[in-house]
Amino acid sequence: MFTGIIETLGVVKNIINEGENMHITIESNFTSELKIDQSIAHNGVCLTIVNINGNEYTVTAIKETLDKSNFKHLKIGAFINLERAMVLGSRLDGHIVQGHVDQTAICTNIIEENGSWVFSFEYDSSLSNITIEKGSITINGISLTVVNSKKNSFSVAIIPYTYEFTNFHTFKNGTEVNLEFDVIGKYVAKLLEEK
């Protein structure tokens, strides 16, 4: 489980495709604190460390992950939002995040508003995922609050700290991002769908 509060940015140093799997090597400033078999959220995708070498570690993304996330477009040099699993007994500063990406969205608009930003996104609503006004959404692993919720789109307001210390500063119109919808909202939507 994660909180959606990003600890650091990692940099993709190598990508090796093997069959339907993708092995991704990442450089991070907390690699020395990691161990093999540990789970880390990468742009919101929970992946297991399979190798550590110096200040770099490697994870493997399988076909299911590549199909549902923006990892299929990953390039060497890309910045990735990183968060280690939450520690029981700590404050939950974001919201409950599972690290299971539901689908992707496309950035459709960026508006700068006197030092902060409003980013808008569109997603495929046929997959039955929903947002609600002032509800929680995870974008590339970042816990955020929804504004301007519509059937297949929503916006989020980004403060300067989030803009600078996550990969939001790399987004432009057309950028594909990972979405994890609020876990409670997903259960409610499923219950309503079954009625």
Tens of pLDDT, residue by residue over 41-74, are 999 999 999 999 999 999 999 999 999 999 999 9
Q: Which pLDDT score, from 0 to 100, does residue 182 have?
A: 85
Report the share of the chain in percent with pLDDT over 90: 76
The answer to whether the CB of 40 falls within 8 A of the CB of 9 is no
Helix boundaries (H) for 14-159? 63-68
How many residues appear in the chain?
A: 195
Tens digit of each residue's pLDDT (9 = 90 or more) over 68-107: 999 999 999 999 999 998 877 666 666 677 888 999 999 9
Taking the C-alpha atoms of residue 115 and residue 146, their distance in angstroms, rounded to an integer, is 19
Q: Which pLDDT score, from 0 to 100, does residue 105 have?
A: 98
Which among 130, 137, 132, 128 has a CA at the least distance from the CA of 194?
128
Mean pLDDT score of the chain: 92
3-state secondary structure of 163: helix
